[in-house]
Amino acid sequence: MFDWLSLGYLGVFLFAFGLNILPFTSPSNLVLAAFVSTIFHSSPIAIGFLIAMGSTIAKTIHYYVSYYGSRVLKEDTRRRLEDYGRRVGRKGAFILFLASATPIPDDPIVVAMGVTKYSPIKFFAAFFAGKVLITVFGAFMGNTLGQVLTVNLGDVGTVTVSATLTVLVTVVLIKVDLEKLVERAWSRLQKKEV
């Protein structure tokens, strides 16, 4: 297996991009930033920024696949979705920011924004802002945890504990149906809009 982090900051970016380019399978970027920060002792701000950028570029590709893939839909369905996208437009940036700034799966919202032809510039800006917030927080968390663990357990112990915590948090995120929580919030926002 290739050690992406041996490439330094470029490796952090490529690692985040590579994990996020696979739709519906990427781990939480909060957990990813915390994990990378525990083993890659560098600036948490730089780590968070690079993971956010890698994630945002990958999700923007998903957005464009959905955006242009919607052409295969029936004309009336496509018009209805585009109309829906215009109505969401006022709250779209907030919804994207919220989805990307939390550890919930953001793929359904990314695809929905692409299919409804939401503004690509607004998409990128809102998604990136949310990702920066959560990944910088995660990187600082991981950095602090990494320092404590390294002092008490050494480098091997730090990597072992970090990997174990990453798996545990990922399992919790998979077991808790965060998508249902997002769907409920989305439907409430729709009801208020009508």
CB 78 within 8 Å of CB 71: yes
Report yes or no on whether pTM surpasses 0.85: no
Query: Comparing 31-40, 52-61, 183-192, which segment has the lowest mean pLDDT?
Result: 183-192
Please report, for residues 41, 147, 165, the alpha-carbon distance to residue 155 in angstroms, rounded to integers and kept in the order given.
11, 10, 15
- Per-position b or e across 45-61, b if 16+ CB within 10 A of its CB: eebbbbbbbbbbbbbbb
Task: Tell me the pLDDT band of 149, cut-offs 50, 70 and 90.
Answer: low
Q: What is the mean pLDDT of residues 71-95?
A: 74
> Cα separation of 152 and 146, whole Å?
10
**Is the model's pLDDT at 31 over the cut of 50?**
yes
The pLDDT score that the predictor gives to residue 191 is 72
